[in-house]
């Protein structure tokens, strides 16, 4: 005897409400064990293998790869075997009447309908006590995978849909309609243009194909060849984390009245400082983004208005004492913004290491969802794409994002001379509800001055 149990998509945390099915790890008809990973899903740029709390035979998979499933809706249905009956007491033989007949062996308890047992309900505890399933890793997990079985019932003769005999034999297809063409000139004209005369509708009496019909068919084919082919277009639906990011950016553009200021800066001092630091300790390299981030953190101490969120519902500005630093990272799955928490408490080398670690985790898909939320200020090194400037979109609900363009040698006035210098463009997009241009301009000027003369940071420490 068995009972069907439906397991729903669990709450994956951090307020996530849905996930996209990447791949099923089992197929209908497979036997699964308690806590065996059965499906890989993606949410907020992290892929997760979800284990099933039931053991038994898979009877239904609710969805296919690429489908989006809401939290709380069924993922998989499993036929769970009932506990074995207790053995008869020793010393007494079982009654012959207790032996099941062929008919009783095929009788089962009526199955529980889909959805009758919520995810993680009492059913799992009743039949499999101790199942403490947790999400198996992020990215590519190491959970056991059950091989797929061949679909049941494949092959063999088709069954009749009615009782009382085999299905009727298929009818012969109707004979093709004869082509009504009289003129050999019309046939030759169609042949010269590579046209199947049988496909040309006739406009003459009784459907007779005339010369004008062939000419019209040739012209229609020529026009179709020059017409844009809609089948050559491609539609790509936004799914998983890419769709989540698109929704965040759309909300930012819709709700935040942002403004952008920018300034060019001579990056000679910044480049020389980075070279000095890396020569002094090659085993702990410091990147350009880390140096700019360190300068930005110092700037936020002087201009705390920018280390904030705007509460849309309460119409309030929420400022933070800690800097939870977000940074834009491009990955094979699209743009993500990992967050380094309490960045102000890290040394420059440690901050550079944390940025590198988070970027690698984002690219490999192993970044936890919790590392993608809660940022208070963001930096973006779009110079890695070979561009000078960008009007970046502020990650909602933050108040500002600082951008760094490529560092390229340009003519620069030094005293009375024009000399080549490594120059970069710094941009700041800010929420105009949080501060005015004076604060934004003051912050950006602070950052630019310390990009040009990093030693000024010593006076701020």
Q: Which two tokens stand for residue 15?
A: 């307020």
pLDDT at 88: 56
pTM of the complete model:
0.57
pLDDT at 299: 97
The candidate with the shortest Cα–Cα distance to 69, out of 55, 50, 86, is 50
**What is the Cα–Cα distance from 105 to 96, expressed in whole angstroms?**
15
Number of Cα atoms under 13 Å in the Cβ half of residue 357: 11
Confidence of residue 161 (pLDDT cuts 50, 70, 90): very low
Q: What is the pLDDT of residues 320-338, one digit of tens each?
A: 999 999 999 988 878 899 9
Instruction: Find all residues with CB under 8 Å of 115, minimum gap 6, and list them.
Output: 6, 74
Q: Compare 406 and 65 and report the one with higher pLDDT.
A: 406
Q: Which of 196-205, 228-237, 309-318 has the least mean pLDDT?
A: 228-237
Residue 397, preceding peptide bond in cis (omega within 30° of 0): yes
For the 241-460 domain, the top CATH level (class) is alpha beta
**d(Cα 434, Cα 443) in Å, to the nearest integer?**
14
pLDDT of residue 368: 87
Least confident of 19-23, 144-148, 264-268, 422-426: 144-148
Q: Which of 193, 248, 309, 432 is catalytic?
A: 432
CA-to-CA dists, residue 225 to 190, 212, 214, 307, 336, angstroms: 18, 20, 17, 58, 43
Whether 150 shows a pLDDT value over 60: the answer reads: no
pLDDT in tens, 93-117: 444 444 443 333 333 333 333 333 4
- Annotated active-site residue 396? The verdict is no
Task: Of 26-35, 83-92, 145-154, 420-429, give the lowest mean pLDDT range.
Answer: 145-154
User: In this predicted structure, what is the pLDDT of residue 236?
Assistant: 82
Per the CB < 8 A criterion, the answer to whether 31 and 121 are in contact is no
Beta-bridge partners for 425: 264
CATH, domain range 2-84+104-127: 2.40.50.100
Residue 201 CB neighbours (<10 A): 9
> Whose CA is closest to 376, among 441, 305, 442?
305
Between CA 442 and CA 395 the distance in angstroms is 21
Sketch the domain layout of the chain as residue ranges: 2-84+104-127, 241-460
């Amino acid at each position: 005897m068995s009972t069907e149990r439906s397991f729903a998509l669990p709450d994956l945390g951090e307020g996530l409400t849905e996930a996209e099915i990447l791949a099923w790890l089992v197929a209908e008809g497979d036997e699964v064990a308690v806590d065996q990973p059965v499906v890989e899903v993606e949410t907020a740029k992290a892929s997760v293998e979800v284990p099933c709390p039931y053991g038994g035979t898979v009877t239904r998979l609710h969805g296919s790869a690429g489908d989006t499933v809401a939290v709380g809706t069924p993922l998989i249905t499993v036929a769970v075997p009932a506990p074995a009956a207790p053995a008869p007491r020793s010393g007494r033989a079982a009654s012959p009447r207790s032996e099941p007949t062929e008919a009783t062996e095929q009788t089962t308890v009526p199955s529980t309908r889909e959805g009758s047992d919520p995810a993680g309900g009492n059913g799992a505890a009743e039949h499999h006590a101790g199942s403490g399933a947790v999400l198996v890793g992020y990215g590519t997990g190491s959970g056991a995978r059950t091989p797929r079985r061949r679909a049941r019932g494949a092959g063999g003769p088709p069954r009749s849909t009615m009782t009382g005999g085999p299905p009727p034999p298929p009818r012969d297809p109707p004979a093709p309609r004869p082509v009504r063409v009289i003129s050999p000139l019309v046939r030759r004209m169609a042949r010269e243009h590579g046209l199947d005369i049988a496909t040309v509708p006739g406009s003459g009496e009784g459907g007779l194909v005339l010369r004008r019909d062939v000419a019209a068919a040739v012209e229609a084919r020529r026009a179709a060849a020059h017409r844009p082919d809609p089948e050559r277009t491609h539609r790509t639906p936004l799914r998983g984390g890419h769709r989540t990011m698109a929704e965040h950016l759309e909300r930012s553009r819709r709700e935040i009245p942002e403004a952008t200021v920018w300034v060019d800066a001579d990056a000679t001092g910044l480049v020389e400082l980075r070279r000095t630091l890396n020569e002094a300790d090659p085993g702990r390299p410091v990147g350009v983004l880390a140096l700019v981030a360190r300068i930005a953190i110092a700037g936020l101490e002087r201009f705390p208005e920018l280390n904030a969120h705007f509460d849309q519902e309460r119409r309030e500005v929420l400022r933070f004492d800690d800097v939870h630093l977000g940074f834009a990272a491009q990955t094979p799955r699209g743009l993500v913004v990992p967050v380094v928490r309490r960045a102000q408490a890290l040394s420059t080398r440690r901050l550079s290491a944390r940025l590198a670690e988070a970027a690698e985790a984002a690219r490999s898909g192993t970044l936890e969802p919790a590392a993608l939320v809660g940022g208070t200020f963001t930096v973006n090194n779009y110079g890695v794409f070979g561009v000078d400037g960008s009007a970046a979109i502020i990650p909602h609900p933050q108040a500002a994002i600082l951008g760094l363009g490529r560092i390229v040698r340009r003519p620069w006035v030094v005293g009375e001379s024009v000399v080549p210098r490594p120059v970069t463009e710094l941009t700041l997009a800010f929420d105009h509800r949080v501060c005015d241009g004076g604060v934004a301009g003051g912050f950006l000027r602070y950052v630019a001055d310390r990009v040009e003369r990093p030693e000024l940071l010593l006076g701020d420490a």
